[in-house]
Copies of this chain bind each other. A is one copy, B any other.
Amino acid sequence: METTRIELEQELDVEKPIFIEGLAGIGHVGKTSVAYLADHLGAEKVGELYSHHFPPYTIVTDEKTVELLKNDIYQIKRDDKADIVLIEGNAQASTPEGHFEVAEKIIELVEETEPERIVTIGGYGTGEVVEDPSVFGVTSSDSIQEEYESADIEFEHDVDQIVGASGLILGIGKDRGYEGICLLGETPGFLLSDPKATEAVLNTLESMLELDLDYSELDEKVQESQDVLKKLQNIQNQQSQDQDQQNSDLGYIG
């Protein structure tokens, strides 16, 4: 029984793409940014990643249908610019082993495309609300930092570590010879969703990827995202309740 698996509807058909990861996490900066890219750039969905290490929940959609937690894989073919591969999703692993296993599975997929760059996206909680959030950068090696000079990325910061997929994918990728950068949107940390941090990251990506993003959709997307996140918050409340139930119920969950 395979505990983490990628199901491709079609083989990735890109050349030396920029690979971009954004999964659920602090302020949902990663997930929301990459979801916006996928939407706005007309990305083509090519597959999904499922893992036994995700939390054992299923999502109920607005249509009252069930959805397994998963990560979605997209490709964007561009004529005069680098191709793009995206992975975006509503779950990360729930155990240490799971985090490493999922990150390695993703790197194995990415390796097949010989990516030009790996870009991972997350939020960095500072505990403070700021008017104009920064985008902090962490790279696979310092030699590529000048590459990003024009993209308004801050390399003077106090970030000491990266938790979860964004760090592991960049770090494992580095060990296998792929250069890349982690973009961390500055966010208070206590916000479930942070549109401002997301916009800051999108501005940076716009420059890095030579995009011309239409931000008029952002408000809509942010609203949509907030609906989803409100739902996730309800899930979390239910989860706490289940936890209590679990404690009073032999550890069996509904």
Contact residues of A with B, CB < 8 Å?
Answer: 1, 3, 23-27, 29-30, 52-60, 63-68, 90-101, 104, 122-125, 127, 137-142, 145, 155, 157-168, 170-172, 174-175, 182, 189-190, 192, 231-236, 238-239, 241-242, 245, 247-254
| B residues in contact with A67, CB < 8 Å | 171
How far is A139 from B64 in the complex, measured between Cα atoms in Å? Answer: 6
Contact partners of A93 in chain B: CB under 8 A? 56
A142 and B65 contacting across the interface, CB-CB below 8 Å: yes
- Tell me what chain A mostly uses at the interface: helix, strand, loop, or mixed: mixed
Name 21 interchain pairs, CB-CB below 8 A, sorted by A. A3-B97, A24-B252, A25-B249, A52-B96, A52-B100, A56-B99, A56-B168, A57-B250, A58-B161, A58-B167, A64-B159, A66-B140, A66-B174, A68-B171, A160-B234, A160-B235, A161-B235, A163-B239, A163-B242, A164-B254, A233-B248
Chain B residues closer than 8 Å to A122, beta-carbon distance: 254
Chain B residues with CB under 8 A of A233: 248
Are A68's CB and B168's CB within 8 A?
yes
Q: Which residues of B contact A52 (CB under 8 A)?
A: 96-97, 100-101
A192 & B65 in contact (Cβ 8 Å cutoff): no
Contact of A242 among B26, B155, B231, B234 (CB under 8 A): B26
Asked if B26 and A231 make an inter-chain contact with CB atoms under 8 angstroms apart, the answer reads: no
**Closest approach, in angstroms, between the C-beta of A63 and any C-beta of chain B?**
4
Shortest A99–chain B CB gap in Å is 3
Q: Contacts A97-B52, A254-B122; is A139 near B65 (CB within 8 Å)?
A: yes
